[in-house]
Amino acid sequence: MEVIICKTYDAMSRAAAEVVAQVLNEKPNAVLGMATGSTPLGLYQELVRMHREESLDFSQVTTFNLDEYVGLPTTHEQSYHYFMHENFFKHVNIPKQNIHIPSGTTSNYRAFCQWYEKRIDECGGIDVQILGIGSDGHIAFNEPGSSLSSRTRLKTLAKQTIDDNARFFDSREQVPVYAITMGVGTIMEARKLLLLANGAKKAEAVAAAVEGPVSSMVTASALQMHEDATVFADDPAASKLKMREYYEWIQAKKPDAPRV
């Protein structure tokens, strides 16, 4: 796992956007895995800027979002459909039919989840998956205790996640209790994983994910088993990493490393 510590949230967002842009330059029809929440907003803004100012092209891109709340219509301001449209999709040129977001209002969740997994396969798998991390160490909505082999499914949100996400709703009672989410196993099949974390509230979860034991109690720790996973953390989010100096040393020495 590579750990990149950035001085600011903006620097972190730019560094992660740079990697996504590189993937698109090498493979214009890449399949992108998208995350929602406050963390990737800066990354999306930077990708939109690159699209406008540097002609970064999304016309052949396909996307799959990690998750969606159950029960929220796509027009609800807190639905992830709405979030993605407002913060990213309406600003870039991804063909509408290439966009996939789990349905929070399907009449058959089991069938929908199976279809979603099949659709990812049909599109050739996810090339690069963007991830945030919950303060309980979750990736997507894989709450503590989720199997590290789990697939797309209906999931009951943990109380901690409901508390954390209440800030987006008028009251805690309005936060949906269920979500449909890609599983840890689904995420681990992406060819490249980028996990972003900012703010002191994420410091413990980041330390547990990067340096703790691999455990279903911290589903982000599964990234330790992935062959191409990068963690981008801003200064406060990196503050509890014991090996921080070493990660910074690796980055400082990177330009001089032997080229294979």
Q: Which residue number is nearest to ligand F6R in terms of Cβ?
A: 132
Task: Give min distance, CB of 139 to ligand F6R, in A.
Answer: 6
Question: Is the CB of 31 or the CB of 140 nearer to ligand F6R?
Answer: 140
Check 46, 143, 164, 234 and give the catalytic one. 143
226 is catalytic: no
67 is catalytic: yes
Check 136, 164, 234, 235 and give the catalytic one. 136
204, 139 Cβ separation under 8 angstroms: no
d(CA 4, CA 248): 7
Task: Give min distance, CB of 104 to ligand F6R, in A.
Answer: 12
Question: Is the CB of 25 or the CB of 185 nearer to ligand F6R?
Answer: 185
d(CA 121, CA 6): 34
CA-based radius of gyration for the chain: 17
Question: Is the CB of 92 or the CB of 209 nearer to ligand F6R?
Answer: 209
143 is catalytic: yes
d(CA 191, CA 141): 20
Task: Give min distance, CB of 120 to ligand F6R, in A.
Answer: 16
Question: Is the CB of 39 or the CB of 62 nearer to ligand F6R?
Answer: 39
160, 201 Cβ separation under 8 angstroms: no
Check 46, 67, 164, 234 and give the catalytic one. 67
Task: Give min distance, CB of 185 to ligand F6R, in A.
Answer: 15
* Among 131, 72, 65, residue whose Cα is nearest residue 94: 65
For residue 194, list its beta bridge partners. Answer: 130, 230
234 is catalytic: no
Positions touching ligand F6R (CB under 6 A) are 35-39, 66-67, 132-134, 138-140
d(CA 243, CA 239): 10
Check 51, 81, 100, 138 and give the catalytic one. 138
Question: Is the CB of 56 or the CB of 209 nearer to ligand F6R?
Answer: 209
Residue appearing with tokens 């979002």: 65
d(CA 169, CA 177): 13
Q: Which residues are catalytic?
A: 67, 136, 138, 143
